[in-house]
Amino acid sequence: MEDDEGRHHFVFFASNDVSYRIKTMTETPLYFNAPRLDITLYFYLGGVPYFHGVNAFGEGGRQTQFSCVSASVKAGSLLGEADYVAQLSAAMDYWGEAELWARLNFMNSFAKPRIELADPWRGLVKVKADGPVAGFAFYAQRNGTWVKIGEAGGRCLLVNASRLFPWDPVLVLPLVEQELAARPGDAVTIWRPETALLFKTWADVVGYPKGARSVLDVVRRC
């Protein structure tokens, strides 16, 4: 194309090869109200990240403005030897379906902590969960609010529960991390975090000090 200001060159690629990359991650705020999952959709054409702006629609018609992020592009792609480009993405907590030009359907599966007594003499408890779980965050009730008291990586943890008390339970939140590829119209299973309470219901040698606050110690991965 050429105009009064000079010559302009444009390159166009046509492709019906539309795909998505989906990344999920559990939010772990300092103050906890309910499990929330960050779901980010990346839009690709012919295997190449797509650049241009478009609005994203989520559950119930909620609208989220697009955002551009830096992402790596493999050498040999349509963009040649570029290392990083801005690509189209939208992030929110999608339920049921999502749409970035083409619809994706979401099916939910839940990662709930399973708590097992491993060694009652030492107060050791196993905490694990099914699904793509990268670790666990722990919360305690302080002044009417769940407050984060710890976090550890691993699908199975061994924790020392000898200083947990029935009146002061600990909330266990799995840290779900997932990366998927999908095509328009696909039904994708999204793992979501679900919480469980950890508290001691047996008496031991130290007894129950009046008004004591629970203390959680992660011993190691199991």
Residue 209 near residue 164, CB atoms below 8 Å: no
Query: At residue 207, what is the residue type?
Result: G
Dihedrals phi, psi of 8, to nearest 5 degrees: -125, 135
**What is the tens place of the pLDDT at every residue in 141-162?**
898 889 999 999 999 999 988 8
pLDDT value at residue 114: 93
**What is the tens place of the pLDDT at every residue in 61-97?**
555 555 566 555 544 444 444 455 556 777 778 888 8
In this predicted structure, the answer to whether residue 187 has a pLDDT above a threshold of 70 is yes
Task: Map tokens 């929330």 to a residue.
Answer: 36
Percent of the chain at pLDDT above 90? 27
In this predicted structure, the answer to whether residue 117 has a pLDDT above a threshold of 90 is no
pLDDT value at residue 68: 60
- φ/ψ region of 166 (left if φ > 0, alpha if ψ in -120 to 50, else beta) reads alpha
128 contacts: CB under 8 Å, gap ≥ 6: 113, 114, 116, 155, 156, 157, 222
**60: helix, strand or coil:** helix
